[in-house]
């Protein structure tokens, strides 16, 4: 089969980023940063030039030989290029559906952003001006039966989290960027997360709205909840509204914990122009304790000094954040989990598994066991990986190829 150069290179995305380019592909979630000449070569390839022609042009432009063939091999090794024609089904999967693009443009176009911004400002003004609207921990007690409260609040938090992630999905779709929602962990917290990796395929300014869409939608929804709260009389509907408002405010506050790679962490990365802040942070930390690997040293040698400075700043937030999380887990989360498990068992044994309280106890016990097991499994894997990295750091490694 004959493959045209256009077919092979047309699937590559090329975005200007700082003093270089970010290269991606419709069929991959991998992105690589290349210098100016790398982006220029890709443009020539997409225009139909051969590798040899690009090498001649690059040599004249740079004043020295440029190994374009090795550059193309590197893109292929990274999964950005294939020796076969692009699969149309992969290209279709890499494009948001028409209805998500339409909904995204309505909610996160200029008018939608103005409306949501006004609602968000209104919620802040209402909380400042009206003290009784401010959240309190008792807002999550929606029933005199503690287990029923726990199950109800868990359901509300799940729905709230999904709406938050849907906002990210729609805002990204409005800019032609596909995404997907999954369940993950941030230290001891289970979260929904939206894979927005493909935002690297659009200019930096266009990444801002999809990243801020979740917290913005939370703040806009909070304004509606506060309005409903002022209109409702005491009762179950008011209790549910106050509980959901508490969840929304807690969710917004969580985003400021940037050491957990929240939405505001992603905004921090965009604002600082960093490309691999998380990896650079780890490399900087291991080098500081003299446990840097060969890969760490290669990374630190390849990134701009500016990114290393930002990595040190982020590390100064990350270390206290981890310490605070460990303290919170041992002081509050672990005792609360043990207490909740005990309450669930007492409800099951005291009232019967088929009673209302017994069923609530079974559900609460299942939720507790599932979430705790997920968190502990993740923490164990992280600990093992860190121990392995530290133990192997002192082993001499061959020098990276030049």
Domain shared by 138 and 227, yes or no: yes
Instruction: Supply the mean pLDDT for the chain.
Output: 83
Q: What is the pTM of this model?
A: 0.78
Residue 5 contacts residue 38 (beta carbons within 8 Å): no
- Same-domain pairing of 48 and 74: yes
SS3 130: coil
Residue 391: pLDDT band (50, 70, 90) is low
Give 389 or 129, the one with higher predicted confidence.
129
The answer to whether residue 267 is domain-embedded is no
| Same domain as 234, residue 111 | yes
* Residue with the larger pLDDT of the pair 290 and 143: 290
**DSSP code of 305?**
H
Q: Is the pLDDT of residue 84 over 60?
A: no
* SS3 per-residue string spanning 199-238: HHHCCHHHHHHHHHHHHHHHHHHHHHHHHHHHHCCCCHHH
Inter-axis angle of helices 277-288 and 294-302, nearest 10: 120
The whole domain housing 18 covers 5-92
H or E stretch covering 365: helix 356-393
How confident is the model at residue 397, as a pLDDT? 36
200 against 92, higher pLDDT: 200
Across residues 197-207, what is the average pLDDT? 88
Statement: residue 192 has pLDDT above 90? no
Same domain, 249 and 119: yes
A 10 A CB-CB count for 188 gives 18
Whether residues 213 and 317 share a domain: the answer is: no
Residue 113 included in any domain: yes
Last residue within a domain, chosen from 33, 68, 92: 92
265-286 b/e (C-beta count within 10 Å ≥ 16 → b): bbbbbeebebbbbebbbbbbbb
Question: Is-contact 42 57, C-beta < 8 A?
Answer: no
Model confidence at 266: pLDDT above 70: yes
Q: How many CB atoms lie within 10 A of CB 242?
A: 23
- Which of 68-82, 115-129, 162-176 has the least mean pLDDT? 68-82
268 has a pLDDT exceeding 50: yes
- Asked if residues 96 and 178 have their Cβ atoms less than 8 Å apart, the reply is yes
Show the DSSP H helices in 232-355 as ranges: 236-255, 263-272, 277-288, 294-302, 305-328, 334-351
Phi, psi of 142, rounded to the nearest 5 degrees:
-95, -5
Same domain (yes/no): 199, 336? no
Over residues 227-256, the mean pLDDT reads 91
> Apex CA 197: angle with CA 160 and CA 95, to 5°?
90
């Amino acid at each position: 089969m004959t493959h045209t150069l256009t077919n092979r290179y047309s699937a590559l995305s090329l975005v200007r980023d700082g003093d270089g380019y970010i290269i991606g592909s419709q069929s991959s979630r991998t992105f690589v940063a290349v210098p100016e000449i790398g982006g220029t070569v890709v443009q020539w390839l997409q225009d139909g030039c051969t590798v040899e022609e690009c090498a001649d042009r690059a040599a004249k432009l740079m004043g020295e030989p440029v190994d374009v063939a090795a550059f193309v091999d590197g893109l292929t090794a990274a999964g950005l290029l294939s020796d076969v024609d692009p699969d149309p089904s992969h290209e279709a999967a890499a494009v948001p559906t028409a209805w998500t693009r339409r909904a995204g443009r309505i909610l996160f176009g200029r008018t939608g952003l103005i409306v949501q911004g006004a609602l968000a400002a209104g919620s802040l003004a209402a909380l400042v001006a009206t003290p009784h609207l401010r959240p309190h921990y008792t807002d999550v007690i929606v029933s005199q039966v503690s287990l029923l409260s726990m199950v109800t609040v868990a359901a509300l938090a799940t729905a709230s989290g999904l709406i938050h992630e849907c906002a990210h999905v729609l805002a990204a779709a409005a800019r032609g960027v596909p995404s997907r929602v999954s369940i993950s962990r941030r230290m001891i917290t289970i979260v929904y997360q939206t894979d927005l990796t493909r935002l690297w395929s659009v200019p930096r300014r266009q990444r801002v709205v999809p990243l801020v869409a979740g917290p913005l939608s939370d703040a806009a929804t909070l304004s509606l909840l506060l309005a409903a709260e002022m209109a409702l009389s005491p009762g179950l509907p008011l209790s549910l509204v106050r509980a959901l408002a508490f969840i929304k405010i807690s969710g917004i506050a969580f985003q400021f914990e940037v050491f957990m790679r929240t939405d505001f962490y992603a905004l921090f990365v965009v604002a600082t122009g960093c490309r691999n802040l998380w990896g650079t942070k780890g490399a900087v930390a291991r080098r500081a304790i003299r446990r840097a690997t060969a890969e760490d040293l290669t990374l630190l040698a390849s990134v701009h000094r500016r990114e290393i400075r930002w990595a040190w700043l982020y590390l100064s937030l990350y270390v206290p954040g981890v310490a605070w999380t460990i303290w919170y887990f041992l002081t509050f989360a672990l005792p609360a989990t043990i207490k909740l498990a005990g309450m669930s068992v007492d409800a099951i044994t005291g009232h019967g598994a088929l009673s209302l309280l017994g069923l609530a106890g079974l559900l609460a016990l299942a939720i507790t066991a599932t979430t705790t097991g997920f968190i502990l499994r993740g923490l164990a894997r992280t600990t093992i990986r860190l121990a392995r990295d530290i133990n192997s750091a002192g082993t001499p490694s061959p020098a990276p190829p030049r």
